[in-house]
A and B are shown apart, each in its own frame.
Chain A
């Protein structure tokens, strides 16, 4: 299985070389081999005696992360869908994409996506699953933005990226919590520990995070908005990613975790509630679209909502119906997208208002579209697979499980009606799609190109898919026990025995189906009459607007916040830095009770020390108020001399020496630049600013004094100065302890101080010399 998963990406490495021959052979023919081989490899797993297969490959054993592939019924269904429809889509794309396109990029992205999808559905390790999950997001982003010279493509790609990666990250959060709770990274082992997860404190968070990932990926309400915009992608991509595979990754995730989550009663409320809401809203919105792919996009969203709702029901019938519908939806929706692509390709537009009466010009496409849409609408005909899954859906909607939450009870009463409502609109947009395009008036003058039937190669893939629709429609039990029963069992946990037949007798679901057809036909026929309702609902409200508003406001308000504190003024930054230090230090002192004032260890103070200190203080303060710049430096000189005096008084001759030299040089340096310096200007600050300055400086002075006193009062341990005094002569061979420390005991510090001085000297030299030279960087 490792080879099967990574075959597409291996092939992708060679695509740029292969595509050099694209003038002779379309690159797609090479690509075709990969999904076909994988499909053939996996198709042999189908059978009555199917058993799950484990295959483990190491990746990061120390973190328990490995390529653990687990092939059960659920994975098998998805693997076959991905590889099967992948083959057909590649075949279709060979005829859809011209050789003048950048085919190498297209097929590299597509193969990358295939690997990612195989990885998602086969991984048993949550982190590997997440890795592939993000890879689907990235490759989908690349495919949507394939025609990156178009504004719409870039917008759509960005939007889908933001929304799906948002969900993906939240899912990662859920996975990490799952790992923490269960101590394993394997999904199957997590399922075995379902009780532990259900009773853990983090269950609500896990539940929310994982479902958020699934809902965003599967375009559930209200995260469905990225899918219609993703229709800017080439049609093969829309058919593959946005109908059959990627958008079902969220469904897959919910199905995979159903054995864990369905133990909680809220699972039904949230998953079914969101699903049924998505079904109704998207099918309602689909009728409003004028773009063929727009209709199909909303239709995909609503069908995904229906599958999600059925997974939420959690009954045996519902799970089986969900699985069945995943397969059915992939067949008819894939073919419909391809038909939409053919119409676009041959007539030059996808705008349904310009199309009409194409049935006579494109008879084969029209026939394919009829089968696809009638199956999508769930019309009760014995050769359409959509009808079976729709009837199963109604059956499941009328046999909901017992529950005790009031919200769930409310939902249970509403679900059958909502299901019928959603299905009526499904019927309406299906009819709108097929009759709007293929019947009615011909408007050939409005079309950019002269429509004619597509080449056989292009029609081949939708034909195969429609063949699937009909074959499953005629013999629904063919895929039943050999294939789908295993899938449903993997989700439900117990063997699922279902027999599908066309005629169940006069039962409620049949009446619901009849109601759908009758009301749907009436509404479809009178569509023009009631379409005005869309100006009231949704009217100007739409989730796209909300998304645009959020993204826009996020940028604007971040800019506003950043500009507010990053105003380029050093004063502002100093205020922020010092205030932060003040708050941090004082609160730390407060919390740790660090204030201490101990007078027992204080030396006596002599009068001359007091006088010197007072003189220094006066000099320091008067520096602030001096207007004359030379006076300011001279007064500051007093502070410097006072300091060296203190060093003398405290018996530190070396320090006093150094301090004197440095002080004198500093004064000389100041005088050197003084000629070029501007005059000290009158501070034109507001009173409030002055107050802030004074408050912060006084606060900082108090802080440092407090810290110094507290530090002096609380000596945690003996100083090591005695050691230096004792060993200075013995080890260092010198009487001058300070100098022995500087060059012997702590010589490394001195070395780097020398380096600092060297750098400073070189820097000054460079600054002065390179000042006006050409070529110096500005």
Chain B
């Protein structure tokens, strides 16, 4: 088991570095654009990477306390991206009731 632990740690560390690099690359898309939907998708992807990192940190630390975070990120990303998409599509987020 100890050997396996060591391997998991190494793999997790490699994954962490890789994912952070991918965040940095996604940052390029967010900053550069060229359009706002590009940025929105990139931000969504950053969020996904965030979930991954939270999971990896949980593995590295051997804790389950970060599971809430992972789930929450999933929900929030969904809501945030929907809101963004709706805004980009219609210009408003919350529709007013028709009088």
A contact residues vs B (CB 8 Å cutoff): 606-608, 611-612, 614-615, 618-619, 622, 628, 630-631, 634-635, 637-638, 641-642, 644-645, 648-649, 651, 653, 656-657, 660-661, 664, 667-668, 671-672, 674-675
The answer to whether B36 touches A631 (Cβ under 8 A) is: yes
User: In the complex, A607→B69 CA distance in Å?
Assistant: 22
Q: State the majority secondary structure of interface residues on B.
A: helix
The answer to whether A671 touches B69 (Cβ under 8 A) is: no
Chain B residues with CB under 8 A of A631: 33, 36, 39
List 8 additional A-B contacts (Cβ < 8 Å) besides A634-B36, A648-B57: A611-B20, A628-B36, A641-B47, A645-B23, A651-B57, A657-B72, A660-B73, A671-B87
The answer to whether A657 touches B68 (Cβ under 8 A) is: yes
Contact of B84 among A641, A657, A671 (CB under 8 A): A671
The answer to whether B43 touches A649 (Cβ under 8 A) is: no
The answer to whether A651 touches B43 (Cβ under 8 A) is: no
Q: Assuming the A-B contacts A631-B39, A635-B39, A638-B27, are A653 and B53 also in contact, with contact meaning beta carbons closer than 8 angstroms in the complex?
A: no
The answer to whether B40 touches A634 (Cβ under 8 A) is: yes
Chain B residues with CB under 8 A of A622: 31
B37-82: which have CB < 8 Å to A? 39-40, 43, 46-47, 50, 53-54, 57, 61, 65-66, 68-69, 72-73, 76, 79-80
Q: Assuming the A-B contacts A653-B68, A653-B69, are A619 and B23 also in contact, with contact meaning beta carbons closer than 8 angstroms in the complex?
A: no
CB of A371 to closest CB in B, whole Å: 96
B92 nearest CB neighbor, chain A only: A675
Q: Assuming the A-B contacts A615-B23, A618-B31, A651-B61, are A664 and B80 also in contact, with contact meaning beta carbons closer than 8 angstroms in the complex?
A: yes
Contact of B76 among A607, A612, A664 (CB under 8 A): A664
A621 nearest CB neighbor, chain B only: B31
Contact of A645 among B39, B53, B79, B92 (CB under 8 A): B53
Chain A residues with CB under 8 A of B16: 606, 608
CB of B24 to closest CB in A, whole Å: 5
The answer to whether A644 touches B83 (Cβ under 8 A) is: no
B25 nearest CB neighbor, chain A only: A615
User: In the complex, A607→B39 CA distance in Å?
Assistant: 25
Q: Bits for B1-42, please: 1 = Cβ < 8 Å to A, else 0.
A: 000000000000000110111011001001101001001100
Chain B residues with CB under 8 A of A644: 50
User: In the complex, A249→B20 CA distance in Å?
Assistant: 85
CB of A699 to closest CB in B, whole Å: 26
Chain A residues with CB under 8 A of B94: 672
Contact of A611 among B21, B39, B57, B73 (CB under 8 A): B21
The answer to whether A656 touches B36 (Cβ under 8 A) is: no
User: In the complex, A656→B80 CA distance in Å?
Assistant: 16
A-B contacts, 21 listed (Cβ < 8 Å): A608-B19, A608-B20, A611-B23, A611-B24, A612-B23, A618-B27, A619-B27, A619-B30, A619-B31, A630-B36, A630-B88, A645-B53, A649-B53, A653-B65, A653-B66, A656-B69, A657-B69, A661-B72, A667-B80, A667-B84, A675-B91
Chain B residues with CB under 8 A of A642: 23
A649 nearest CB neighbor, chain B only: B57
Q: State the majority secondary structure of interface residues on A.
A: helix
User: In the complex, A642→B83 CA distance in Å?
Assistant: 20
Q: Assuming the A-B contacts A649-B57, A675-B91, are A664 and B79 also in contact, with contact meaning beta carbons closer than 8 angstroms in the complex?
A: yes
User: In the complex, A674→B90 CA distance in Å?
Assistant: 12
CB of B14 to closest CB in A, whole Å: 10
User: In the complex, A651→B54 CA distance in Å?
Assistant: 10
User: In the complex, A631→B21 CA distance in Å?
Assistant: 22
B contact residues vs A (CB 8 Å cutoff): 16-17, 19-21, 23-24, 27, 30-31, 33, 36, 39-40, 43, 46-47, 50, 53-54, 57, 61, 65-66, 68-69, 72-73, 76, 79-80, 83-84, 87-88, 91-94
The answer to whether A648 touches B53 (Cβ under 8 A) is: yes
User: In the complex, A649→B43 CA distance in Å?
Assistant: 19
The answer to whether B27 touches A648 (Cβ under 8 A) is: no
User: In the complex, A79→B66 CA distance in Å?
Assistant: 90
B61 nearest CB neighbor, chain A only: A651
The answer to whether A672 touches B46 (Cβ under 8 A) is: no
Q: Assuming the A-B contacts A628-B36, A656-B69, are A614 and B24 also in contact, with contact meaning beta carbons closer than 8 angstroms in the complex?
A: yes
User: In the complex, A713→B76 CA distance in Å?
Assistant: 38
User: In the complex, A668→B85 CA distance in Å?
Assistant: 11
Chain B residues with CB under 8 A of A628: 33, 36
The answer to whether B83 touches A671 (Cβ under 8 A) is: yes
CB of B84 to closest CB in A, whole Å: 7
The answer to whether B61 touches A635 (Cβ under 8 A) is: no
User: In the complex, A27→B21 CA distance in Å?
Assistant: 97
Contact of B31 among A635, A641, A648 (CB under 8 A): A635
User: In the complex, A151→B88 CA distance in Å?
Assistant: 69
The answer to whether B80 touches A611 (Cβ under 8 A) is: no
A618 nearest CB neighbor, chain B only: B27
User: In the complex, A622→B53 CA distance in Å?
Assistant: 24
Chain B residues with CB under 8 A of A611: 17, 20-21, 23-24
Contact of A615 among B27, B33, B36, B40 (CB under 8 A): B27
Chain A residues with CB under 8 A of B36: 628, 630-631, 634
Chain A residues with CB under 8 A of B50: 641, 644-645, 648
User: In the complex, A649→B16 CA distance in Å?
Assistant: 10
The answer to whether A641 touches B20 (Cβ under 8 A) is: no
User: In the complex, A614→B20 CA distance in Å?
Assistant: 10
CB of A127 to closest CB in B, whole Å: 68
Chain A residues with CB under 8 A of B91: 675
The answer to whether B69 touches A638 (Cβ under 8 A) is: no
The answer to whether A638 touches B80 (Cβ under 8 A) is: no
The answer to whether A638 touches B46 (Cβ under 8 A) is: yes
User: In the complex, A644→B54 CA distance in Å?
Assistant: 10
CB of B19 to closest CB in A, whole Å: 8
The answer to whether A648 touches B17 (Cβ under 8 A) is: no
CB of B38 to closest CB in A, whole Å: 10
The answer to whether B83 touches A608 (Cβ under 8 A) is: no
CB of A170 to closest CB in B, whole Å: 66
Chain A residues with CB under 8 A of B17: 607-608, 611
The answer to whether B73 touches A637 (Cβ under 8 A) is: no
A674 nearest CB neighbor, chain B only: B87
Instruction: With a 10 A CB-CB cut-off, give which of A608, A661, A667, A672 has the most chain B CB atoms.
Output: A608
Chain A residues with CB under 8 A of B31: 618-619, 622, 635
User: In the complex, A638→B45 CA distance in Å?
Assistant: 11
Q: Which 8 A-B pairs have the closest CB atoms?
A: A611-B20, A608-B20, A634-B39, A622-B31, A664-B76, A608-B16, A671-B87, A664-B80
Chain A residues with CB under 8 A of B39: 630-631, 634-635
User: In the complex, A653→B58 CA distance in Å?
Assistant: 10
The answer to whether A634 touches B30 (Cβ under 8 A) is: yes
B54 nearest CB neighbor, chain A only: A648
Chain A residues with CB under 8 A of B88: 630
User: In the complex, A675→B47 CA distance in Å?
Assistant: 25
CB of B13 to closest CB in A, whole Å: 8
Chain B residues with CB under 8 A of A641: 43, 46-47, 50
User: In the complex, A656→B65 CA distance in Å?
Assistant: 11
Chain B residues with CB under 8 A of A608: 16-17, 19-20, 53
User: In the complex, A648→B27 CA distance in Å?
Assistant: 19
User: In the complex, A618→B80 CA distance in Å?
Assistant: 22
User: In the complex, A674→B31 CA distance in Å?
Assistant: 19
Chain A residues with CB under 8 A of B40: 634
The answer to whether A660 touches B76 (Cβ under 8 A) is: yes
Contact of A667 among B54, B83, B92 (CB under 8 A): B83
Chain B residues with CB under 8 A of A667: 80, 83-84
Chain A residues with CB under 8 A of B57: 648-649, 651
User: In the complex, A8→B46 CA distance in Å?
Assistant: 86
User: In the complex, A634→B40 CA distance in Å?
Assistant: 7
CB of B16 to closest CB in A, whole Å: 5
User: In the complex, A631→B91 CA distance in Å?
Assistant: 15
